[in-house]
Structure 1
Amino acid sequence: MSGIIKSSIARKVSMALSALFLLIFLLQHFLINFSSVLSADMFNELSHFMGTNPLIQFVMQPILIFGVVFHFVMGFILEVRNKSARNVKYVKYNGNANSSWMSRNMIYSGIVILAFLGLHFYDFWFPEIAHKYVHALPEDPNRYFGELVVKFRDPVRVGLYCLAFVFLALHLLHGFSSAFQSVGFNNKYTPAVQKIGKAYAILIPLGFIFIALFHYFNSL
């Protein structure tokens, strides 16, 4: 771990790999959540599987939590070291001329996303842990859709979710292509990957916003 922190290349590659891992998780999370728009039964079935499968609960879930923490810690370290390098090496560094707004403000969009994850854990993960391990309530495979709908009846919560996903889109617009560049992906397929990255960065957050608004307006 100390070697990763000290090496500039290792930091960028590890940051990129954790980002790619989280992109895959985000897509899977979106597909499950979107099923709630199509069918309550489908959403309950998928959520019950994810919530009771030992491999997912005791292997993949800890890996995911580690990936999230590692990504944000490494992002903070990169931001601090990059600012330090600019202050020392460049007397007249002009960030506006050399990089996009999104790349210059990744740390801020990341902080907003981290705050959203805290809200998301408070809304869904902590109650799930309390249901299964604290109160040891009997498992109900049909409870998930109802719990989701109740959360999205609150207009303030829905507004915060939508705002967080706007920041996620901004974060992904730079992060997707940057992750592939950091792992050395630079060939004739690069333009196609960049287009896929832009589509992903816009459509996935927009999809999450649609899900929140769909359940909110259906509850009125």
Structure 2
Amino acid sequence: MSGILKSSIARKVVMALSGLFLVLFLLQHFLINFTSVFSATTFNEVSHFMGSNFFVQFLLQPILILGVIIHFVLGFVLEYNNRKARVKKYVRFNGSANSTWMSRNMIWTGLVVLAFLVLHFYDFWFPEIIHKYIQVHPEDPTRYYGETVAKFTDPVRTLLYVISFIFLSLHLLHGFSSSFQSVGWHEKFYKGMRGATVAFSILIPLGFIFIAVYHYFNQV
């Protein structure tokens, strides 16, 4: 831990690993949510399994929350240190000539993604915790689909989800591929992965947007 706090390289590696872990969760989350488009029964079955499985609830879920905290905290620490370390102003150094818009604005796209996570926790995770562990309702394995699609009856909330996933795509377009560099992948393997990370960074957020828009218009 002291090494992570003192070494910028160690912080970048841990941030990259936590980011790659969150990418895996994002894919799993998308695959589950996408079932809601074509089968309420399948979505209920998968959601019930995830919501009642001890391994998922009490091991993977805390690890996921810890991964989110580590990723964003280290992101802010690295951004603060990078800004503090800059001696030359942009008047003398044209940052846009050597980097993409996504790489220069990771902190801002990250803040939007963090705000979305807060909204997502407010919409889904907190109500689920209250339902199961505070109000202690009897388990209903058919409730998940109705509770999920009801969130998308509100056009403002649906629009916020769409905007958030656009910013998530921008964040991933730089962060996903650069994570492989941070963990030491050889340049030739990195170049081979670049196309796959770009496709993932565009298609998965678009998939989430499609799910939100589909459920909104399906209820109008």
Aligned to 2:209: 209
Q: Secondary structure at the match of 1:139?
A: coil
Aligned to 1:142: 142
Which consecutive residues of structure 2, in runs of 5 or more, have no partner in the other structure?
none
Aligned to 2:102: 102
TM-score computed with the length of structure 1 as normaliser = 0.97
Q: Are 1:166 and 2:166 counterparts?
A: yes
Query: 1:88-109: per-residue Cα shift (whole Å, max 9, x none)?
Result: 7998332112211100100000
Give the alignment of 1:1-220 within 5 angstroms. Answer: 1-87=1-87, 92-220=92-220
Moved more, 155-164 or 180-189: 180-189
| Superposed displacement of residue 168, structure 1 | 0.1
Moved more, 143-152 or 96-105: 96-105
User: CA–CA distance in 2 between the matches of 1:90 and 1:122?
Assistant: 39
Moved more, 99-108 or 183-192: 183-192
Query: 1:183-213: per-residue Cα shift (whole Å, max 9, x none)?
Result: 1112433222000000000000000000000
Moved over 3 A (4+): 88-91
| Superposed displacement of residue 84, structure 1 | 1.3
Q: Secondary structure at the match of 2:137?
A: coil
Change (3 A) 1:61 1:104: same
Conserved 8 A contact 1:86-1:93? no
Moved more, 94-103 or 132-141: 94-103
* Aligned-pair identity (%): 67
Question: For the aligned residues, what is the CA RMSD?
Answer: 1.4
User: CA–CA distance in 1 between the matches of 2:122 and 2:131?
Assistant: 13
User: CA–CA distance in 2 between the matches of 1:6 and 1:155?
Assistant: 46
User: CA–CA distance in 2 between the matches of 1:65 and 1:50?
Assistant: 15
User: CA–CA distance in 1 between the matches of 2:98 and 2:188?
Assistant: 24
Moved more, 81-90 or 163-172: 81-90
| Superposed displacement of residue 216, structure 1 | 0.3
Q: Secondary structure at the match of 1:162?
A: helix
Aligned residues: 220
Conserved 8 A contact 1:162-1:212? yes
User: CA–CA distance in 2 between the matches of 1:164 and 1:212?
Assistant: 11
| Superposed displacement of residue 149, structure 1 | 1.1
Q: Secondary structure at the match of 1:138?
A: coil
